[in-house]
Structure 1
Amino acid sequence: MHPPQWLQSFTALAHTGSFTRAAERLGLTQAAVSQHVRQLEDRLGPLLIRRPRAIELTPAGTALLQYCAEIEEADRRLAVRIADEEACCGDVGLVTPGSLGLFLYPLLLDFQLAHPGLAIRHRFAPDRETLAQVLDKRYDLGIVALKPDDARLAATPFAEEALELVVPAASEVRGWQDLQALGFIDHPEGHAMATRLLSRAFPGNPGIATVPARGFSNQVGLLLEPVARGLGFTVIPTHARRVFARPDAIRVIDMATPVVDTLWLIHRAEWPLPARARRVADYLHEHISKRTIR
């Protein structure tokens, strides 16, 4: 690697055709410019032919000038990338819970259509995996249900989301016995969510483990299909219910004491969030805040 000041002196000399003008452009002495060029020639061989009133580049000098131009262009691209002036170009990675992700993904596609220079990567993941993906710099942004206790992560409130008791459209739920008669459609976080919500709605209940299991799915987009067909009830976040294609086949039971979680937007705290990632986050936050979460 050649010292940048040597290359700057050579480039200025090649462009001005004069040691004097090159020195004036760079704010150096003529002797300094001459020394830089000689040091390059000691490494690379003759770079220019010195004439009384002009200089002429040798083939090696022409190749070096092209190399200097490539270095300048690479520096410019790096500066743009670091400064993130291209807020609507480049890659943005986002990791979300499955329920919220189903709701956000069409919004992400709309944003990408409006900004074709962006490439948006979206991944569904539970909190633990989301934290790991953001910490490992594989994704710019993550959304989690629990605020992380990690100094390496910045966390800001993104949205609120309620848990919902969802039953077949024709079902009535007046007490715990009605839930036991329906049966439970489980999912990876089903027991935890059901326990949190039903303990408030039905104080003193014997627990979700006493309700017969009628099915299980780890695909949040399909979870309400057995409920819609009358096979049981489930407890899920609001957004998982909102994206279901057959809302007339299900019913949400109103809760006198709802359970509402704050969802947190996270990113690495040690450096500024890229402008393009900030724009995506602001766009999603704006659109989700316009809609009723509960």
Structure 2
Amino acid sequence: MLNLNWLQTYVTLVETGHFTHTADKLAMTQPGVSQHIKKLEQHFGQPLLIREGKRFDLTQSGRDVYQQAQRTLAELSGLEQQLSTDDPFNGPVRFASPGSLGLKLYPELLALQQQHPSLSIDYTFAPNEGVERDLVARKLDIGLITRPGDKSDLAYRPFAEEPLFLVTPAHIDAPDWATLMALGYIDHPDGAHHAGMLLGSNFEQYQQLSQLPKRGFCNHISMILEPVSRGLGFTVLPRYAVAAFPRPDEIAVHTLPQPVSESIYLVQRRHQPLPTRIRFLIEAITPMLSE
């Protein structure tokens, strides 16, 4: 493995042009400087210096190593400075979640950004698979998903829960199975999953979504309740999607005898240290999802 101390000694030698001056600058002995250069030449398997008495010149390999060593040491120095000044209120945060969670979190994160304008919130509404894919591709810093995951590159931990609700047009008071059959279902991308969880736990007649007449489909989280509000059917949605609907008097939200919640998992790349600003964001959203 390449020793960074050898590189630092070599760069200093090239820039001072003198073994003694290099030793003084690095608080080393002159034989110690010579030993570092020898180790570096052995590592690359070719000479880096052309020695002429007390003077030296660089071989072509020596010039290549010097240029790369300068870049490498500068990048490491910049990284050290960045880490030493890691500001919890400064820098970009790339975050993603399924739609219902986004409806809850994004406005509150914008309020957080107003308090700390140097934070840059990059929020993506994405399905579970999309969140995982973008984390693996390093397009995200953290994400939330609503099921356990199995990607070996990612670490998952339980984070919160979001209740599911049966939502009907406003005139429905206490829906029974016959009422649901008459209304029909407004489907959405997670419609079968959510219906299976909530209806399957509360109606013995329920086996699969295809039993219910399908009255429509919408893939936009903020619009799924629009057909419900117009009396065209019912649906099952997570809490925050229901809470975001702008005309709550046009729908009826029903709590069933067997409450069901969807688990939420925090996801990040495995063994990836999180900057302070990301840890700050995680701490900030924790109480948002427990209100």
TM-score (norm 1): 0.77
Alpha-carbon separation, structure 2, partners of 1:124 and 1:202:
32
Report sequence identity in percent: 36
- 1:138 maps to 2:139: yes
* Structure 1 residues 201 and 34: CA distance shift in structure 2, 3 A: closer
Per the TM alignment, residue 184 of structure 1 is displaced from its structure 2 partner at its CA by 1.4
- Corresponding residue number in structure 1 for 2:188: 187
- Corresponding residue number in structure 2 for 1:42: 57
| 1:245-260 pair list within 5 angstroms | 245-260=246-261
Per the TM alignment, residue 43 of structure 1 is displaced from its structure 2 partner at its CA by 2.8
- Corresponding residue number in structure 2 for 1:219: 220
**Matched residue SS, 1:231:** coil
Per the TM alignment, residue 82 of structure 1 is displaced from its structure 2 partner at its CA by 5.4
Give the AA of the match of 1:247. P
Alpha-carbon separation, structure 1, partners of 2:266 and 2:34:
56
Alpha-carbon separation, structure 1, partners of 2:219 and 2:84:
41
Alpha-carbon separation, structure 1, partners of 2:287 and 2:266:
13
Per the TM alignment, residue 201 of structure 1 is displaced from its structure 2 partner at its CA by 1.6
- Corresponding residue number in structure 1 for 2:45: none
CA contact under 8 A between 2:89 and 2:118: conserved in structure 1? yes
Q: Which among 6, 19, 23 is matched to residue 10 of structure 2? A: 6
Alpha-carbon separation, structure 2, partners of 1:7 and 1:206:
72
| 1:167-182 pair list within 5 angstroms | 167-182=168-183
Per the TM alignment, residue 206 of structure 1 is displaced from its structure 2 partner at its CA by 6.0
Unaligned runs of 5+ in 1: 45-63
| 1:120-135 pair list within 5 angstroms | 120-135=121-136
Alpha-carbon separation, structure 2, partners of 1:142 and 1:167:
31
- Corresponding residue number in structure 2 for 1:26: 26
Alpha-carbon separation, structure 2, partners of 1:167 and 1:101:
23
- Corresponding residue number in structure 2 for 1:56: none
**Matched residue SS, 1:156:** strand
Give the AA of the match of 2:227. P
Aligned residues between the structures: 265
**Matched residue SS, 2:223:** coil
Alpha-carbon separation, structure 2, partners of 1:84 and 1:240:
38
TM-score (norm 2): 0.78
- Corresponding residue number in structure 2 for 1:79: 80
Per the TM alignment, residue 253 of structure 1 is displaced from its structure 2 partner at its CA by 0.9
Alpha-carbon separation, structure 1, partners of 2:94 and 2:153:
18
Alpha-carbon separation, structure 2, partners of 1:184 and 1:9:
76
* Structure 1 residues 234 and 81: CA distance shift in structure 2, 3 A: same
1:148-172 per-residue CA deviation (whole Å, 9 max, x = no partner) reads 1344322122211111101112212
**Matched residue SS, 1:267:** strand
Alpha-carbon separation, structure 2, partners of 1:177 and 1:164:
18
Cα-Cα RMSD: 3.2
* Structure 1 residues 210 and 85: CA distance shift in structure 2, 3 A: same
* Structure 1 residues 258 and 155: CA distance shift in structure 2, 3 A: same
Unaligned runs of 5+ in 2: 1-5, 38-48, 60-65
Alpha-carbon separation, structure 1, partners of 2:282 and 2:272:
16
* Structure 1 residues 113 and 262: CA distance shift in structure 2, 3 A: same
CA contact under 8 A between 2:143 and 2:266: conserved in structure 1? yes
Give the AA of the match of 2:130. E
- Corresponding residue number in structure 2 for 1:116: 117
- Corresponding residue number in structure 1 for 2:95: 94
Give the AA of the match of 1:27. A
* Structure 1 residues 4 and 87: CA distance shift in structure 2, 3 A: same
